[in-house]
Amino acid sequence: MSNVNLTDRIPNNVNLSNDRTLQRALEHWQPHFLNWWDEMGPREFAERDVYLRTAVGVDAEGWASYDYVRMPDYRWGIFLADETPDRRIGFGDNFGQPVWQQVPGEFRSQFRRLIVTQGDTEPASVEQQRALGLTCPSLYDLRNLFQVNVEEGRHLWAMVYLLHAYFGRDGREEAEELLSRHSGDVDKPRILGTFNEPISDWLSFFCFTYFTDRDGKYQLKSLAESSFDPLARTCRFMLTEEAHHMFVGETGLSRVIRRALEVMKELGTDDPAAIRRAGAIDLPLLQRYLNFWFSSSLDLFGSEMSSNAASTFANGIKGRPDEALYTDHLALDEALELEVPAGDSAVTTEQVPMRNAMNEVARLSYVKDCEMGLKRWNMMIKRAGHDFQLSLPAVRFRRAIGAWANVPTDPQGKRISAEEFARGIGGWLPSADDRAYVQSLMQRVVTPGKMAAWLAPPDRGINNKPVEYEYVRL
Ligand code: BYC
Ligand code: FE
Ligand code: FE
């Protein structure tokens, strides 16, 4: 069991007080982080008490405590999962050797790039979601938004700790940069595409936590396999918190659908116009939102054929999600068959050496995971007596990264001409009309237990509290 110190200025289980230089460096960064939170976070709610969970250790049972906290007073801490005794490198060229407690010099820049990329997404999402509190559909949802936000803040701390502790001056500079790039900023945007997309309504928020936080899950799983043990342990613990973010997405979208089905039943119609007049979200509109966020999140895995991926796998830097599920951890003699565009309208297959295809391997696991929610939702829709089915668009659809980048296809993945795409895309993604309608629904509901008309209540509250608990004291 690691030694948890909760009374330090920075709560931690990494014996921070034993390394005064590091502690001072992080304490120097702390006010910069807090300034960033004040400026770029949910500033309108800085004075409010929010019923939040705070990570206070890494025990499977009692790792979190729940209480009312003002967000700027949240105890953002540094927690690594406990060390696995005699942990060995689980994949790549150094398979079977002891894991590293330091970053090998020759892999330093690769590690730094990945840790910075991971770290960049965390504050980016807080920036993207900063205005949602003003239009919350309930206090319960408002609290969940803030829970996600403070934990993304902690995930930033997790990466900044690694940068400070293992990357010297470069790391400290990167830590500052993590606070100076901003989501959607024309001059200094966030690194990855999806993290520059606005999240201006709660339907987007639920899609983002369903699809984009789930990319987080898969990337963290890959990094949790890393031979650099402190990175692996950090990511393992982050995954504990991550589960709630996806819960918010999955239950959020389920509640949107449940509400739509209730209205369809009351009205006896599935006509979108009628459903909108009743203030709910019609399923075809939801489908267009799914199309948007799924296709954007697919890009976060990088190219199907990637020499970066081959090299980080070979070097033991980044593994596959759930590496233990595979039998061959060297992946030297295998290949993955990929469908790629050929010429103006054809599709051909290509054999990609497995190591180069690691991004695609991770993406395929991710897509399977995404499908689980859709199965459940389609069951709900079917049980309610409707033929309509939600679906994930093809992985080729609307891609900006990889073999299918800028290749026009329909949502089923069929190649089409640029003109057909231009004509179709308006109906495949949220239209200006859809967005305006969703925006019109974004009316703040803050009576405890009350829900906005477009959203069904959750099945239960947080931490055994009732749904009508005052999760945020306004
Ligand atoms: N947008 O060989 P390639 C989360 C760049 S989410 C823009 O294809 P590689 C969270 C790439 O950076 C998880 N650029 O890909 C969720 C590279 O640029 P450089 C975040 C992109 O390197 C919700 C170039 O294209 N964690 O935690 O094998 C809320 C060629 O790259 C994109 C990570 O991403 C894109 N979509 O893999 C809060 C893990 N995709 O270096 C948090 C760390 C690729 O040539 N990152 N590029 O200038 C990685 O593992 C890898 O960087 C990637 C890309 C998987 C992202
Ligand atoms: Fe995160
Ligand atoms: Fe998350």
User: Whose CA is closest to atom 2 on ligand 1?
Assistant: 306
CA distance 425 to 329: 41
Token pair 């330091």 in the structure block, residue: 102
- Confidence band, pLDDT 50/70/90 cuts, at residue 61: confident
Q: What is the mean pLDDT of residues 339-359?
A: 97
Q: What is the DSSP letter of 453?
A: T
For a mutational test of ligand 1's pocket, the pick from 117, 191, 212, i.e. the residue with the most ligand atoms closer than 8 A to its C-beta, is 117
Q: What is the CB neighbour count within 10 angstroms for residue 74?
A: 18
User: Whose CA is closest to atom 40 on ligand 1?
Assistant: 302
Q: What is the mean pLDDT of residues 304-326?
A: 98
Q: Is the pLDDT of residue 349 over 80?
A: yes
Residue-level pLDDT at 114: 98
17 — phi, psi (to 5°)?
Answer: -70, -15
Q: Is the separation of the CB atoms in 404 and 341 below 8 Å? A: yes
**245 CA → ligand 3 middle, Å:** 5
Please give the C-alpha separations between residue 384 and each of 256, 262, 270, 363, in angstroms, as whole numbers.
14, 9, 12, 32
Q: CATH number of the domain at 16-473, out of 2.40.50.140, 1.10.620.20, 3.20.20.70, 1.10.1510.10? A: 1.10.620.20
Number of H helices, E strands in the chain: 13, 5
- Confidence band, pLDDT 50/70/90 cuts, at residue 59: confident
**Which tokens go with 216?**
């987080």
CA distance 176 to 184: 18
CA distance 377 to 383: 10
Q: Which ligand is nearest to the CA of 153?
A: 2
Residue-level pLDDT at 3: 79
**438 CA → ligand 2 middle, Å:** 26
Q: Is the pLDDT of residue 1 over 60?
A: no
E strands, 32-189, in order:
49-55, 64-70
pLDDT tens digit sequence for 107-152? 999 999 999 999 999 999 999 999 999 999 999 999 999 999 999 9
Q: Which ligand is nearest to the CA of 360?
A: 1
Residue-level pLDDT at 205: 99
Q: What is the DSSP letter of 457?
A: P
Q: Which ligand is nearest to the CA of 125?
A: 1
For a mutational test of ligand 1's pocket, the pick from 245, 300, 311, 317, i.e. the residue with the most ligand atoms closer than 8 A to its C-beta, is 300
Mean pLDDT of the chain: 97
Q: Is the pLDDT of residue 2 over 80?
A: no
Q: Is the separation of the CB atoms in 442 and 244 below 8 Å? A: no
CA distance 408 to 413: 9
**415 CA → ligand 3 middle, Å:** 34
Residue-level pLDDT at 415: 98
Q: Which residues line ligand 1 (CB under 6 A)?
A: 114, 117-118, 121-122, 125, 152, 192-193, 212-213, 215-216, 219, 299-303, 306, 308-309, 318, 359, 401
**204 CA → ligand 3 middle, Å:** 15
- Residue 191 CA, closest ligand 1 atom number: 7
Extents of the domains making up the chain: 16-473
**279 CA → ligand 2 middle, Å:** 32
Residue-level pLDDT at 268: 96
**301 CA → ligand 1 middle, Å:** 6
Residue-level pLDDT at 474: 94
pLDDT tens digit sequence for 140-183? 999 999 999 999 999 999 999 999 999 999 999 999 999 999 99
For a mutational test of ligand 1's pocket, the pick from 132, 150, 197, 219, i.e. the residue with the most ligand atoms closer than 8 A to its C-beta, is 219
